[in-house]
Amino acid sequence: MKTALHLILGGLLLPGVVLLLVPGILVWLYPIELPNPTLVRYWFAKVMLPGGLVLMGTCAAQFVVTGHGTPAPWAPPKKLVTSGLYAYVRNPMILGMLLMLGGEALLIASHAIGIWFAMVATVIVAYVHLIEERGLQARFGDAYATYKANVPAWFPRFKAWAAPDQPDPSDP
C-alpha cells in the first residue's frame, strides 16, 4: 500500500507539473491552434503523446517490480534497474516525459510550450548530470559505473546491454 501511494504521488508530482499544470497555464495565457489533422505535426504528436506515456508507465512499473522502489525521489529503487528499456538508454522515463511535452507543443502549435519544453529539457539534463548520476554512483558503486560506461544517457543503443550478472537478452 505504501509503495502504491509513493508511486501515485511520485508519478503525479513532477510529471503533473511539467505536463499538465504549467502547459495549462501557458495555454490560458497564450493563443494556441486547435489540433488540425491535415498537418504533419498533428500525426507526430499523435505518436509522441501515447509513446511517451507508454515509456513512462513501463519504466515506473519496472522500478516497482525490478528495482523494488518507485520513481519518487523519496522512495527510489533499492536495486539498480538495467534491464528492459534501461538496457538501451539510462533515462527512458525522462525521455517519455519529454516526448509527451514535445507532443503537446506540436499538437496545439504552442510556441510557449515549445519554450517550456526547451527549459525543462535543459534543467533535467543538468540535474541528471550534476546530481542524479552522483547519487546513483554513491548508492550502487561499481555496478552503476559499469552501467554508465555501457549505456548512453539520452540516445538509445541499437542492441540491449546486459549487466555482467545478467544473461544477454539477445541469446535464445
The pLDDT tens digits of the residues spanning 11-29 come to 667 788 888 889 999 999 9
Q: What is the pLDDT of residue 72?
A: 81
DSSP 8-state symbol, 24: H
pLDDT at residue 163 in the model: 85
Selection from 93, 127, 81 nearest residue 19 by Cα:
93
11: left (phi over 0), alpha (psi -120 to 50) or beta: alpha
Side-chain half-sphere CA neighbours of 55 within 13 A: 23
Q: What is the mean pLDDT of residues 145-153?
A: 97
Nearest to 161 by CA among 97, 100, 84: 84
pLDDT at 67 over 70: yes
Q: Nearest-CA neighbor of 82 among 69, 71, 68, 66?
A: 66
**For residue 118, what are the contacts with CB-CB under 8 A and spacing of at least 6?**
none
**CA gap 19, 15 in Å, rounded:** 5
Q: Give mean pLDDT, residues 41-67.
A: 94
pTM of the entire structure?
0.87
As a whole number, the mean pLDDT across the chain is 90
Note whether 86 and 151 are within 8 A (CB).
Answer: yes
Look at residue 171 in the predicted model and tell me its pLDDT: 56
